[in-house]
Amino acid sequence: MKNLNEVLKISFSAFFADLGYQAAVVMFPLVFVIYLGAPMWLYGVAEAINYGLGSLMAFLGGLAGDRFGRKRMAILGNALIIPVSFLGFAKYWWQALLIFMVGWWFRNFRSPPRRAMMTEVTDPSERNEAFGILHALDIAGAVLSITYAAILLFVKFPVEYLLLITAAPLVVSTLLIALVNAGRGSSAGSVSFTELRGLGRVLWLVVVSTFFFGFSQYSFGFPVITTAEFTHEDYLAVVAYGVFLATSAVFGYVFGKSRINEYAGLSYLGYLLGVFASLGFALLSPMGVTGIYPAASLLGVAVAATETFEPTIISKVAPRERMGMGMGLLSFGRSIGIFLANTVMGLLYQLHYSYAYYFAAASSFTAFLVVRLLLMRAVGSEGRSR
C-alpha cells in the first residue's frame, strides 16, 4: 500500500474516536432506561432521533466535504463529538437525549468525509484492505472503550466521571485527522437533482439494500438492555457490546485482506448472517450470556462485512469528485433504516422483546434479497454492456 502512513493516520483517528465515544454509546441505554427510568418505547423514539437526524447529518457531511474540503469537515465533526463525555451528568431523560444526540449527529457528519479521504490516499485495488484496516482499528478502539467501561462499572466507579474520561481520546482523534495529508481542497459545487439521478443504478441499489439492513442493524442498546434484564448485571450488558465489537474488529481485518467478491460478501456474510444474529437474540436470550454472547458475536461478523464491502463498492461506482456524497448516501440509507427500526423495535419490545428481533431478522433478509436479486443482476448487466 503506497500511502500506508496516511491510511494509518485515518484509521488510528477512528481508533481513538471509538476509544472515547463508544463508552457513551453503551452507557446511553443504561442511563436513559435503567438509571433515569424512561420506558422502552421512549428509548426507541430517542434512538430514532439520534440515528434519523444523524442520517441527514451524514449526508450533509458528505456534501460539505466535497464542497468545502473533506479534511476541514472531518475535523469539525470529530471535535463536536466531545459533548457525549458529559452524558453522566444528566439528571433527566431529555437532558441525556440532548447531550448524546449532539455528539452522535456530529459523529455521523464526519464519517463520509473521512471515508472519502481514505479513497484519496488509496488505489481502487487497495480499498478492500484499507477499509478493512479502518474498520478493524475503529472497532479495536471500541473494544478497549467497552473494556474500561465494564471494569469501572464492576468496581462501582461513578458513571459521570467514567464518561468524562472519554474526552481525552476524542481530542487525540481530532489531532490525528488534522495530520492527514488529504482532503484539503474543495472539488465540487452544489449538487443538483439531475446529478443525483445520474449516479448510477448500482450505487442506488447499494443505498437501498443498506437501508433495509439498517432495520436489522438496530442500536445495540436493545441487546444491552436485554442482557441487563436477563442477567441483572450492568457490567455483563456492557461486555455483550464488547463481544460484538471484538468480533467485528477481527473479521473487519480478515475481510479486508481476503479476496472475497464484494457483492457476495455483502449479501451472504453481511445481510444473511444478520438474519441469524437477530433470530439468536429472539430465541436464545433467556439462556443469559450463553445465548446472548454468541448472537452478539454473529452480529459482529455481519457488521464487519457490511462496513468493509459497502464502502468498497461505493468507492468504485461513485464519481471521484462526488465521493463524499456517495459515502454520505451510504450512511444516509443505513441511518434512515436504523431510524425507522429503532422506532418500530421500541414499540415491539414494549410488547415482548422477541417481537423486536423477529422484525429485525425479516428486514435483514429483505436486504439480502435486494442484493441477490437486484444488485448482482445490475452489476452483471453493466459488465456485459462494457
Please give the pLDDT value at position 317. Answer: 62
189 belongs to a structural domain: no
In this model, does residue 108 exceed pLDDT 70? Answer: yes
Neighbours of 284 (CB within 10 A): 15
Q: What is the mean pLDDT of the segment spanning 18-25?
A: 92
Which of residues 354 and 375 earns the better pLDDT score? 354
Note whether residue 270 is domain-resident. Answer: yes
Residues 297-302: what's their mean pLDDT?
92
pLDDT tens track for 327-346: 666 666 666 677 777 778 88
Tell me the average pLDDT across 57-80.
88
pLDDT for 45-67, tens place per residue? 888 788 777 777 877 888 888 88
Q: What is the count of structural domains for the chain?
A: 1
Residue 28 counted as domain residue = yes
* Structural domain harbouring 231: 4-181+195-385
pTM of the model: 0.69
Residue found under cell 436504523: 338
Comparing 40 with 89, the larger pLDDT belongs to 89
286 is a domain residue: yes
Is the pLDDT at 95 greater than 90? The verdict is yes
pLDDT at 193: 46
pLDDT of residue 187: 55
Average pLDDT score, the chain: 82
Evaluate if residue 94 carries a pLDDT over 90: yes
Q: What is the pLDDT of residue 50?
A: 84
Residue 25 lies in a domain: yes
Is it the case that residue 102 has pLDDT exceeding 90?
yes
Q: What is the pLDDT of residue 138?
A: 86
Q: Tell me the C-alpha distance between 190 and 169, whole Å.
A: 34
**Average pLDDT for residues 3-13, to the nearest whole number?**
92
Confidence of residue 73 (pLDDT cuts 50, 70, 90): very high
CA angle (291, 293, 294) in 5-degree steps: 75
Share of the chain above pLDDT 90, in %: 34
d(CA 260, CA 268) in angstroms, rounded, equals: 11
Q: Flag whether 188 is in a domain.
A: no
- Model confidence at 192, pLDDT cuts 50, 70, 90, reads very low
Structural domain contains residue 187: no
CATH number at 128 reads 1.20.1250.20
SS3 184: coil
Closest CA to 147 of 139, 277, 281: 139
> What's residue 130's pLDDT?
87
Question: Over the range 67-98, which residues count as b (16 or more CB within 10 Å of their CB) and which as e?
Answer: bebbbbbbbbbbbbbbbbbbbbebeebeebbe
Domain membership of residue 318 (yes or no) is yes
Segment 126-151, tens digit of pLDDT: 887 888 888 788 878 988 998 899 89
Please give the pLDDT value at position 323. Answer: 61
From the number of C-beta atoms within 10 Å of its C-beta (0-12, 13-18, 19+), residue 103 rates as buried
3-class DSSP assignment, residue 106: helix
Q: What is the spatial distance between Cα 342 and Cα 216, in angstroms, rounded to a whole number? A: 10
